[in-house]
Amino acid sequence: MEKIDILIQGTNVRIHHLFLMMTKRNWNGSSEVDNIAATVQYTGFLLCNPGCNPCFPLQQPNFPYNRSQSYKPIPCGDPTCPTPNQDCFQSFCGFKISYGKDPPTSTAGAIVRETLTFPSDFGGTESYNDLFLGCGFKSYHYEFQQPNKISGVLGLGFGGTGTLSFLKQVSKKRFSYCLLNSEHTNSQLYIGGAKMVGPQVLSTPLLRGSNEALYYLDLQDISIQNIRLRLQGLFSGGSAIDSGSPVTILLPNVYARVKIGFVQYFEQFHIQPYDSGSRPRDVPMLDLYFPNSFGFDRYPTMTFHFKGADLVVQPNGIFAFGRNYFCVLLKSGPVTMIGAFQQTQHKFSYDFELGDGRRGEIGALRFAPQDCGSPA
Is residue 365 situated within a structural domain? yes
Long-range contacts of 230-234 (CB under 8 A, 24+ apart): 231/257
CA distances from 364 to 154, 206, 277, 307, 319 (A): 21, 5, 46, 11, 28
- 152 vs 372: CA distance, rounded Å: 23
Is residue 318 situated within a structural domain? yes
The backbone region for 17, taken as left when phi is positive above 0, alpha when psi lies in -120 to 50, beta otherwise, is alpha
Q: pLDDT tens-digit profile of 121-143?
A: 778 888 888 999 899 998 888 77
Residue 162 has pLDDT above 70, yes or no: no
Residue 245 burial (CB < 10 Å; 0-12/13-18/19+)?
Answer: buried
Task: Give the mean pLDDT of the chain.
Answer: 85
Is residue 328 situated within a structural domain? yes
- 31 vs 166: CA distance, rounded Å: 10
Identify the pLDDT of residue 311: 98
Helices (H), the chain: 2-16, 166-169, 252-267
- 373 vs 350: CA distance, rounded Å: 20
Is residue 224 situated within a structural domain? yes
Q: Please count the structural domains in the chain.
A: 1
Give pTM, 2 decimals: 0.87
* Res. 374 pLDDT band, cuts 50 70 90: low
Is residue 36 situated within a structural domain? no
Q: pLDDT tens-digit profile of 309-341?
A: 999 999 999 999 988 899 999 999 999 999 999
Contacts of 162 (CB under 8 A, 6+ apart): 26, 27, 28
Residue 342 has pLDDT above 60, yes or no: yes
Cα 15 to the center of its chain, rounded Å = 11
Q: Which element (helix H / strand E) includes 321?
A: strand 319-321
- Poorest-pLDDT segment among 137-141, 202-206, 349-353: 137-141
Is residue 341 situated within a structural domain? yes
Sign of the dihedral defined by the CA atoms of residues 163, 170, 238, 256, in that order: negative
Sign of the dihedral defined by the CA atoms of residues 81, 87, 90, 94, in that order: negative
Is residue 32 situated within a structural domain? no
Report residue 263: phi and psi, to 5°: -60, -45
- 176 vs 43: CA distance, rounded Å: 19
Q: pLDDT tens-digit profile of 45-100?
A: 444 644 456 777 777 788 888 899 999 999 999 998 988 888 999 999 999 988 77
CA distances from 347 to 36, 234, 240 (A): 16, 27, 17
Half-sphere exposure (Cβ direction) of 149: Cα atoms closer than 13 Å: 7
Q: Which element (helix H / strand E) includes 130?
A: strand 125-140
Is residue 140 situated within a structural domain? no
Domain range holding 241?
Answer: 174-375
Identify the pLDDT of residue 201: 98
Task: Assign residue 271 the CATH number of its domain.
Answer: 2.40.70.10
